[in-house]
Amino acid sequence: MAHDIGFEALAEDALLLRFGERIDSELNARVQAAAARLRQRLPQLECVPAYASLLLRFDPARWVGHDGSGPHRRLQDAVNAALGECGTIAATPRERVIPVCYGGEYGPDLADVAAHCGLAVDALIARHTAAEYRVAMLGFAPGFPYLLGLDPQLAVPRRRDPRQRVPAGSVAIGGSQTGIYPEVLPGGWQLIGRTPLRLFDASASPPSLLAAGDRVRFQAIDEDRFRQLAAADPR
């Protein structure tokens, strides 16, 4: 697993593992598998997976060698040893169902996206809810999940005029990806629906509803159900 990984020291307490340079499901699966193994073998590390890389945060004082070797070199050796071990790590992904009210005020770009894709609105919703997605990474803002698994026919360019305020919970498509805005944020992705679930709560443990590696499915709901779930604070 470790023979073709690039290593880059980002800071005195950070080491970046590069697995490739593209957005790809198989490549991201390697990143997630490496993170799972390192969390088990080297639990003192903080592992932050991205699409094709894995950031390791560590305490430099714990990795200074008696022979004077630097912490990055020693950590790289330990990572190579851990990832080169035989056997697999049984990391069972969590499964999450995200309720979404599509269209209307909740998804103002839905009709335009459907037209761009050459689909009826109902057909687009059916395709979006039929897929199983994997959280490739959290980024852009705390709790924002980048989801792999979008039906290629639903790929659509980002808006030419990004919005200054995208409502929290907005489910959107940007290029070949889909994602969910966890807070009110600026953004240029196409808004097709909204979930009443709260994706990020700084006071919760963990603060993010979703984590890298989670499996996600969307479930279409109507406005009444949206209001019920929002009032119940389902998280």
The structural domains of the chain, with segments of one domain joined by +, span: 6-83, 95-232
The half-sphere exposure of 92 on its side-chain side, counting CA atoms within 13 A, is 1
Kindly compute the dihedral angle of the four CA atoms of residues 229, 230, 232, 235, in this order, to the nearest 10 degrees.
Answer: 90
Tokens of 25: 């499901």
* 134-160: pLDDT as tens digits: 999 999 899 999 999 999 999 999 999
Q: Which of 35-39, 169-173, 185-189, 194-198 shows the lowest per-residue confidence on average (mean pLDDT)? A: 35-39
Does residue 227 have a pLDDT over 70?
yes
Are 180 and 195 a contacting pair, CB within 8 Å?
A: yes
- Nearest one of 32, 38, 36 to 19, comparing CA atoms: 32
Are 35 and 52 a contacting pair, CB within 8 Å?
A: no
Q: Read off the pLDDT of each residue in 182-208 and give the average, rounded to a whole number.
A: 95
pLDDT of residue 74: 92
Class of domain 95-232: mainly beta
Cis omega (within 30 of 0) for bond into 71: no
DSSP 8-state assignment for residue 89: -
Q: Read off the pLDDT of each residue in 128-135 and give the average, rounded to a whole number.
A: 96
Does residue 89 have a pLDDT over 60?
no
Task: Report H helices in the chain.
Answer: 25-41, 71-83, 110-117, 121-130, 223-232
pTM of the model: 0.83
CA distance 151 to 118: 13
Q: Read off the pLDDT of each residue in 114-142 and give the average, rounded to a whole number.
A: 96
The architecture of the domain spanning 6-83 is 2-Layer Sandwich (3.30)
Give the model's confidence band at 211: pLDDT under 50 very low, under 70 low, under 90 confident, else very high: very high
